[in-house]
Structure 1
């Protein structure tokens, strides 16, 4: 009996020693010990931008009150590394000598992601044009780049894979997250400007939801409808044929026109400009690999949606600060969001909004040939 007690005591002392080594192990200081180029490769943000983010979030993240607590900077860097790599949390904690346990990493991610999802933080960096001046600026950006009048953004949806919810989950029924490619996902609506900055994101709908349905529930759709009803008709989005044609959302012609006629020129220009949103989606997922299909977010849908929002906010910060897009990182595994659009199964009757959309499109076809 004494031998058993002694053995248990030795094991307990060894556990304490291991914990003490973990607490007192010197952690890497990435700001001083990594080159600028490698820092961006690891965390996706420059050193200056990462420090800016720490300052931005400091009032919403618990400070270190004890010697064993993680400081705010470490919490932010751990979260950035997870979003950038999409690795399992234990790998994030053990890499780069952070020396942090998996439960601590999980708490870091939740705390920092929640901070980035606060309205006063998120809405300051991800927002649709808020007035006529900003609408005009968005329109001018597309016109100067593509010589195509009226465009203020391009819209599409992309799927982000998630771990299947429980079959009997009342809040998140498992079956509604299965998309058309037969994996569980969130169907994320993105709208971007000419510079790949995301001006609207909706990450609330399960993978089985149709793109057009998400759009019809969108605040942006309501805003643009009201704008056109008030007579401001020279602002519109470009979307693929999975969306309903409206004067504020122009889609390609339903048929493929023969070459060298105005309709063919319109469709060709539409496709070229609309690819902006596909490139935006690709850059977003190249930067933040936790969004890639083969990574799979191992979180409930609500938390996965917040992680997607956080990646969008960080993407916009990178755009604003001219952070280069990571290159040659398993590029063949990156889903650029290019897909065959789902045709609307319900044939629309000719209603005033559809007729106005056709009229708007016909005017542009005529204008572009001049």
Structure 2
């Protein structure tokens, strides 16, 4: 598979109970690609299958390659993952699948969806942060301006992570993701460095366009507001749960063994795939237990 970065890929996955039963459908639109005659060249389907296996199970690369369905070396598995993840991070792919509504009709549909499901009017997105565990980065002191020291990645739970900000609609489709900040970063700092505006938890300030719970409500109206607000916020909590069930590489016990920059790209790729599943009505076999999946990635 040559010149993979020049390919625009659209595909949907059927996340079947047995991994070998994955049905993968995809369409490739290539630019300036050459015919490949090497008999040992891997097919596009296998590249995608290997990557989905990794993201779905959160396994190490070697066991994936050694499975009876693959028989691939670890370096080959690594190349498959790297190229597919890179393709899903291409702006023409990522921005196609992860975006805020672009017109009044789309905006109205999102507002109506939240109001229908939660009774809360005027909502265009729910926000929360979730931690995705990574291996400790290098403690090399020669860091460039876009890198952080190792200790900055240690979150309040005591493990290394990326603090991932997500905004979703009522259908659990992710409208925005920010996977650039280390685990010790406070949620509000991630928000302040975002380019979006939308219902939130009490870790965010209460503004005219950003609605959070009222601390210590004293009236019936305030209590009713809090009830509806929490009902609406449960949407993003469920979205986080679905992500971690669909892509077990997000779970704390399935740590991403990559540098922070690569881990961020893998997270973005999972978000694109998640939205493809939502768009194509591909549901999880087992619904996530929200109570059993907190925002620390467990």
- TM-score scaled by structure 1? 0.70
Per the alignment, residue 253 of structure 1 pairs with: 214
Indicate whether 1:270 and 2:224 are aligned: no
Going from structure 1 to structure 2, the CA distance change for 1:338 and 1:240 (only over 3 Å counts) comes to farther
Do the aligned residues in 1 keep the contact of 2:135 with 2:259 (CA within 8 Å)? yes
Do the aligned residues in 1 keep the contact of 2:132 with 2:250 (CA within 8 Å)? yes
Going from structure 1 to structure 2, the CA distance change for 1:254 and 1:319 (only over 3 Å counts) comes to same
Partner residue of 1:192 out of 156, 161, 168: 168
Structure with bigger RCO (C-alpha 8 Å, 6+ apart): 2
Partner residue of 1:308 out of 267, 289, 294: 267
Gaps of 5+ in 1: 1-35, 222-236, 340-370
Structure of larger gyration radius:
1
Per the alignment, residue 245 of structure 2 pairs with: 286
Distance in structure 1 (CA, Å) of the matches to 2:33 and 2:207: 44
What is the deviation of 1:310? Answer: 0.7
What is the deviation of 1:159? Answer: 0.2
Do the aligned residues in 1 keep the contact of 2:163 with 2:179 (CA within 8 Å)? yes
Going from structure 1 to structure 2, the CA distance change for 1:207 and 1:41 (only over 3 Å counts) comes to same
Per the alignment, residue 182 of structure 2 pairs with: 206
Do the aligned residues in 1 keep the contact of 2:120 with 2:229 (CA within 8 Å)? no
Over the aligned positions, Cα root-mean-square deviation in angstroms equals: 2.7
Higher percent of residues as helix: 1
Do the aligned residues in 1 keep the contact of 2:119 with 2:228 (CA within 8 Å)? no
What is the deviation of 1:335? Answer: 2.7
Partner residue of 1:81 out of 33, 49, 53: 53
Per the alignment, residue 82 of structure 2 pairs with: 110
Gaps of 5+ in 2: 1-12
Per the alignment, residue 155 of structure 2 pairs with: 179
Per the alignment, residue 25 of structure 2 pairs with: 51
Going from structure 1 to structure 2, the CA distance change for 1:141 and 1:333 (only over 3 Å counts) comes to closer
Distance in structure 1 (CA, Å) of the matches to 2:185 and 2:106: 31
Indicate whether 1:295 and 2:254 are aligned: yes
Per the alignment, residue 226 of structure 1 pairs with: none
The alignment partner of 2:96 has SS state of coil
Going from structure 1 to structure 2, the CA distance change for 1:255 and 1:84 (only over 3 Å counts) comes to same
**1:16-31 counterparts in 2 under 5 A?**
none
The alignment partner of 1:165 has SS state of coil
Do the aligned residues in 2 keep the contact of 1:57 with 1:116 (CA within 8 Å)? no
What is the deviation of 1:80? Answer: 0.5
Do the aligned residues in 2 keep the contact of 1:78 with 1:109 (CA within 8 Å)? yes
Question: Could you list the per-position Cα deviations for residues 177-212 of structure 1 after superposition, in whole angstroms to 9, with x for gaps in the alignment?
Answer: 011111000000000000111111000111111101
Partner residue of 1:238 out of 199, 212, 219: 199
Going from structure 1 to structure 2, the CA distance change for 1:58 and 1:336 (only over 3 Å counts) comes to farther
Question: Could you list the per-position Cα deviations for residues 35-89 of structure 1 after superposition, in whole angstroms to 9, with x for gaps in the alignment?
Answer: x98x623559962xx222xx24766999754112211110110000000000000
The alignment partner of 1:187 has SS state of strand
Per the alignment, residue 233 of structure 1 pairs with: none
Do the aligned residues in 2 keep the contact of 1:158 with 1:189 (CA within 8 Å)? yes
What is the deviation of 1:337? Answer: 2.2
Indicate whether 1:131 and 2:107 are aligned: no
Question: Could you list the per-position Cα deviations for residues 144-169 of structure 1 after superposition, in whole angstroms to 9, with x for gaps in the alignment?
Answer: 22222101111000000001001125
The alignment partner of 1:160 has SS state of strand
Per the alignment, residue 293 of structure 2 pairs with: 335
Going from structure 1 to structure 2, the CA distance change for 1:332 and 1:283 (only over 3 Å counts) comes to closer
Do the aligned residues in 2 keep the contact of 1:57 with 1:115 (CA within 8 Å)? no
Per the alignment, residue 31 of structure 1 pairs with: none
Task: Tell me the number of residue pairs that the alignment of Structure 1 and Structure 2 aligns.
Answer: 281
Distance in structure 2 (CA, Å) of the matches to 1:196 and 1:120: 22
Distance in structure 1 (CA, Å) of the matches to 2:150 and 2:107: 40
